[in-house]
Amino acid sequence: MNLTSKAPEGPLAEKWDKHKFNVKLVNPANKRKYDVIVVGTGLAGASAAASLAELGYNVKAFTYHDSPRRAHSIAAQGGVNAAKNYQNDGDSVFRLFYDTIKGGDYRAREANVYRLAQVSVNIIDQCVAQGVPFAREYGGLLANRSFGGAQVSRTFYARGQTGQQLLLGAYSALSRQVAYGKVKLYTRSELLDIVVVDGQARGIVTRNLITGETQTHAAHAVVLATGGYGNVFYLSTNAKYCNVTAAWRAHKKGAYFANPCFTQIHPTCIPVSGDYQSKLTLMSESLRNDGRVWVPKTVEMAERVRKGEIKPQDIQEDDRDYFLERKYPAFGNLVPRDVASRNAKMMCDEGRGVGSSGLAVYLDFADVIKRTSAEAVSQKYGNLFEMYEKITDENPYQMPMRIYPAVHYTMGGLWVDYNLQTTIPGLYAAGECNFSDHGANRLGASALMQGLADGYFVIPYTIGDYLAQTAPKPVTTDHPAFAEAKAGVQARVEQMLAIKGNKTPDEFHKELGHIMWEYCGMARNAEGLKHAKAEIQRIRKEFWQNVKVVGSGEEMNQALEKAGRVADFLELGELMVDDALNRNESCGGHFREEYQTPEGEALRDDDHYAYVAAWEYTADNQPEVLHKEELVFENVKLTQRSYK
């Protein structure tokens, strides 16, 4: 079956305005008769909940955190893109659109991306009006910086804490609606199922994480803004609680899952230091502007470094391999994220990695310190150097940093049409949990932009179109589908508690993460993927026989929460592998070793794979069914990337 995006016809620049005019509206007096559930209170969720409440809808907002302010959007450092052209450097909506489509390696939907670029300017205005303290120039106007994948300065920022400030802005808007009584906030409530009545999303089942109570909630429509699934790899830059459960439950209730194998690996993370490692920390991409990436030339020397026999600063210039500068003389250390990541992995695979685990390369600032001064470097990167030292106990002014790539964003997610509606009518997906705007690779500073665009400026319009066609009758949880879904959730909890096995949820999660990282990570091949598929099936089977959770479901039980999330990751992981196996090309974050140019770059196959792969769940342990949404490019020309 081919999926259609429902993007309006007509010239690209007019699509959104035309669509806004054509969508049905809900009469202002009727809006209060509609209830909307928003799950997740990060950038997309909080902004959607606040905006919908401002319009007059009754909103119930859910988060598993103790407060909406803790959502992982808060950890985004760099900034948020917007086509304001405040710098007079030739930026425009079309240029932001073009950069995003190209950066995504031509695997995103043109109409969505253009709309994203259009509303980006409104995001900045909205956030400034909320009191978000963006960086400013001495003249008092907004400052910009440049980011990867763009030749203009269009990134707005608040030091290294842009995500935090934007989230606190959305959180404040949400809090205001809570005070007005238009949003009812449910904290520490985790979604465990979607309730579908007569083919339409009508509610959710949640578990109160403090009391363990299972609750059902009804509404006329449900919005999922539940983030990405990077934690399927166990180690990632995602927060510990980040999970796929909400999206996966929706998927199992009929929402298609699109491009699950598109994951982004960030090249500059602090490497793993031991088996106990629980998560990875990102070092800003900007470090590659001044740092030089290298490994020892020979395996023998690398071995001595790993054993601590020689220090990196004592290795002679001739014994170092600045591999990015060697292989990509034109771009050098500034090649895109995927290229930098893959090459670091290659060096470590050759046995030339450093650090006691051998899974790291050096990012060296000695040259820039010599050229300028330690002080100048500190002005630019002081806080990052400090954070690095805090974590590793090494002083990057004196010895090179050790970095290694890590998972930090997932472009794939629930398939949505132009209205951000999933294949379940009445169920919407916003932010990282949908697949819509980044194609096979996301540009820096675009995640915040997409989350807020979806929440503030897209969902509030498009959901009205659906609600206008729904009778404004009160909804209740009386329908048997609610009781059934609730019973299903409780049964699953009981099942996990009853196993009383020998392995903890974390142990299963680590095992899965290891498989995913090895075989479905930075570089994939058919053989490895097939092996991974079998392994994941084995681990999943073992999980349901041998997982160990103590206590009960009627109390705060963090191991039980974890077990539920791991169980869903164990199903998602297999789908990611299937998707990666299906896509016989390399594009963006998806690098299939069989498909590369003679120079070792990603080789796309636009004739056969210029589509969105949307997967339909059929039954447990059964292959999922592939549906394709063909991507049509009318406004950009597809080209091959080269960074030589």
**607-636: which residues touch another protein (CB under 8 A)?**
none
Q: How far is the CB of 143 from another protein (least distance, A)?
A: 9
Instruction: Considering only residues 533 through 562, tell me which ones interact with another protein, judged by CB under 8 A.
Output: 548-551, 555-556, 558-559
In angstroms, rounded to a whole number, what is the distance separating the alpha carbons of residues 450 and 43?
Answer: 9
Number of H helices, E strands in the chain: 19, 20
Q: With CB under 8 A as the contact rule, which of the stretches 18-26, 72-80, 328-336, 624-632 interacts with another protein?
A: 72-80
Beta bridge partners of 62: 39, 186
Candidates 208, 325, 274, 242; CA nearest to 644 is 325
44 phi-psi bin (left φ>0, alpha ψ -120 to 50, beta other): alpha
The b-or-e profile of 10-40 (16+ CB within 10 A means b, else e) is: eebeebbeebbeebeebeeeebebbbbbbbb
The residues that are catalytic are 337
Instruction: Report the nearest approach of another protein to the CB of residue 376 (Å).
Output: 21
Shortest Cβ 129–another protein spacing (Å):
4
Binding residues for another protein restricted to 175-214, rule: CB under 8 A? 175-176, 178-179, 185, 187, 210
For another protein, the closer CB: 92 or 122:
122
Minimum gap (Å) between residue 283 Cβ and another protein: 11
Judged by beta carbon, residue 47 or residue 423, the one nearer another protein is 47
Using CB under 8 A as the binding rule, the residues of this chain from 233 to 262 that contact another protein are: 237, 239-241
Least distance from C-beta 271 to another protein, angstroms? Answer: 7
**Residues in 260-289 that interact with another protein by CB under 8 A:** 271-279, 281-282
| 641: three-class secondary structure by DSSP | coil
Among 15, 65, 524, 604, binds another protein (CB under 8 A): 65
What's the min distance (Å) between Cβ of 68 and another protein?
8
List the interface residues with another protein, window 109-168 (CB under 8 A).
122, 124-142, 158-159, 161, 164-165, 168
Residue 334, classified by CB atoms within 10 Å of its CB into exposed (0-12), middle (13-18) or buried (19+), is: middle
With binding defined as CB under 8 A, does residue 84 bind another protein?
yes
Stretch that binds another protein, among 59-67, 101-109, 588-596, 632-640 (CB under 8 A): 59-67
For 582, the enclosing helix (H) or strand (E) is helix 558-582
Q: Which is nearer to another protein, 5 or 41 (CB)?
A: 41
Determine the Cα–Cα distance for residues 392 and 302; give it in Å rounded to an integer.
Answer: 19
In angstroms, the CA 500 to CA 521 distance is 32
Residue nearer to another protein on the CB measure, 159 or 326? 159
Tell how far CA 334 is from the center of its chain. 22
- Give the range of 3-11, 314-322, 498-506, 599-607 binding another protein by CB under 8 A: 498-506
Cα–Cα distance, 447 to 266 (Å, whole number): 14
Q: Does 504 bind another protein (CB under 8 A)?
A: yes
Residue 214 phi/psi, 5° resolution?
-90, 130
Shortest reach from residue 357's CB to another protein, in Å:
7
Site string for another protein, 375-404 (x = CB under 8 A): ------------x--xxxxx-------x--
Q: Alpha-carbon distance 166 to 107, whole Å?
A: 28
Residue 454 or 574: the one with the smaller Cβ distance to another protein is 454
330 binds another protein (CB under 8 A): no
Burial, 326: exposed, middle or buried (Cβ in 10 Å; 0-12, 13-18, 19+)?
exposed
Per DSSP, 455 falls in state I
Q: Which two tokens stand for residue 571?
A: 């199903």
The residue among 171 and 381 lying less far from another protein, judged by its C-beta, is: 171
* 295-314 positions binding another protein, by CB under 8 A: 307-308
- The whole-angstrom distance between residue 110's C-alpha and the CA centroid of its chain comes to 20
Site string for another protein, 19-58 (x = CB under 8 A): ----------------------------x--xx--x----
- Least distance in Å: CB of 558 to another protein? 5
Binding mask 441-480 for another protein (x = CB under 8 A): ---------------xx--x--------------------
Residue from the set 173, 368, 433, 536 that interacts with another protein by CB under 8 A = 173
For 89, residues 6+ apart whose C-beta sits below 8 A from its C-beta are 152, 153
In the complex with another protein, the residue whose CB is nearer, 187 or 477, is: 187
Cβ-contact 617, 603 below 8 angstroms:
no
Residue whose CB is less far from another protein, 101 or 246: 246
Count of residues that interact with another protein, criterion CB under 8 A: 94
CA angle 594, 600, 602 (to 5 degrees): 65
Q: Which is nearer to another protein, 260 or 553 (CB)?
A: 553
| Residue 273 Cα distances to 184, 277, 384, 530, angstroms | 43, 7, 18, 29
Spatial separation of the C-alpha atoms in residues 584 and 592, rounded to whole Å? 7
Amino acid in position 459: I
* Smallest distance from another protein to CB 379, Å: 15
Distance between alpha carbon 291 and the CA centroid of its chain, in Å?
Answer: 26
